Amino acid sequence: MKKRERFWIPGFLMLFFVPYIGVMAVNGVEAAIINRTPQPEEYIPLILSLQIPDDYEKEAVKAQAVIARTNFFRKIQEKNISDVLGEISGEIKKEKTACFFPEKIYEKAAEETRGQVLISEGELKLVPYHEISNGQTRDGTQAFHDQEYSYLKSVDSSGDKNSPFYLNSTYIPEQQMPSELNIEQRDASGHVVSLLADEDILEGEAFAQGMGLSSSDFSIQKVGGEFRFLCKGRGHGLGFSQYGGNQLAREGKNWKEILETYFPAMEVAAYEE
């Protein structure tokens, strides 16, 4: 993915000013001052800039825009909007800086999908996404051990195997590992559900994140004085695979078709703010 060249300012200031840039450009500074309450839609380009590369295909970015909007509006329903914006600010701080002017592709993706969200049984739900799957996304019920997430179906995403980052190795000194470490259970997509570490049972996803592994679909091999973890994919493997979605966009699929592929049990609908 290409390096982004942008003008940067501190994240806190950007969160305050970005919603008014468009108003100032069209209606002037006075109108921007009067319009002190930005609409939630105005934050979508900013959120997108934190979630997906700007050199991805437009239709893939538009699919991500619908996902971003769904999660954003769902959080607003559950929390105070200032708390939600605080979370976004926290994400920005992790990257140290934030972009003052999001790339045009983010603005266009947000505008061309304006108001569109994913719903299940008429409700906004958690819509997860990740960078690269292991070739098949995970079933929500299996991953969360909860029927509430049954709307997240396991689907084929074999295009991910073409990614140069599909396979990743992590080496950890044996001194930092338990004496015995064995995989106890995998889910249907191949992700590790549990491991036996000496006499303790460890949860697969938590272990992968704690050890800095790229995904919980991994194999373990002892190499000299180290443990080698060979991982497939990047991320938790749930929901939308951004790389796989980008591959579909290159094949000519539009954003709705991409979302239908990854969320067959959900539907696209217009959302009234």
Looking at the fold, whether 243 and 120 belong to one and the same domain comes out as yes
29, pLDDT greater than 80: no
156, pLDDT greater than 60: yes
Question: Is residue 48 situated within a structural domain?
Answer: yes
Q: What is the pLDDT of residue 14?
A: 43
Looking at the fold, whether 32 and 97 belong to one and the same domain comes out as yes
Contacting residues for 226 by C-beta, under 8 A, at least 6 apart? 171, 172, 173, 174
Confidence of residue 84 (pLDDT cuts 50, 70, 90): confident
124, pLDDT greater than 50: yes
CB 225 within 8 A of CB 117: no
Looking at the fold, whether 87 and 126 belong to one and the same domain comes out as yes
pTM > 0.75: yes or no: yes
How many whole angstroms separate alpha carbon 44 and alpha carbon 192? 34
How many whole angstroms separate alpha carbon 149 and alpha carbon 166? 26
Question: Is residue 147 situated within a structural domain?
Answer: yes
Looking at the fold, whether 133 and 258 belong to one and the same domain comes out as yes
First to last CA, the chain: 34
Looking at the fold, whether 44 and 125 belong to one and the same domain comes out as yes
Confidence of residue 205 (pLDDT cuts 50, 70, 90): very high
Higher pLDDT: 168 or 31? It is: 168
71, pLDDT greater than 60: yes
Region 74-98 average pLDDT? 70
103, pLDDT greater than 90: no
Looking at the fold, whether 82 and 213 belong to one and the same domain comes out as no
44, pLDDT greater than 60: yes
Looking at the fold, whether 14 and 132 belong to one and the same domain comes out as yes
Neighbouring C-alpha atoms within 13 Å toward the C-beta of 95: 16
What is the C-alpha R_g of the chain?
Answer: 20
Region 115-132 average pLDDT? 97
Looking at the fold, whether 77 and 183 belong to one and the same domain comes out as no
CB 207 within 8 A of CB 227: no
CA angle, 128 as apex, 53 and 66 as ends, to 5°? 65
31, pLDDT greater than 60: no
Structure tokens at 260: 């239908």
Amino acid at 149: Y
Question: Is residue 241 situated within a structural domain?
Answer: yes
Dihedral pair phi/psi, residue 228, rounded to 5°: -105, 125
Looking at the fold, whether 188 and 223 belong to one and the same domain comes out as yes
Question: Is residue 72 situated within a structural domain?
Answer: yes
Domain count, the chain: 2
Looking at the fold, whether 28 and 139 belong to one and the same domain comes out as yes
Q: What is the pLDDT of residue 93?
A: 61
Segments forming the whole domain that contains residue 181: 167-232
Looking at the fold, whether 34 and 134 belong to one and the same domain comes out as yes
Question: Is residue 2 situated within a structural domain?
Answer: no
Structure tokens at 54: 């700007």
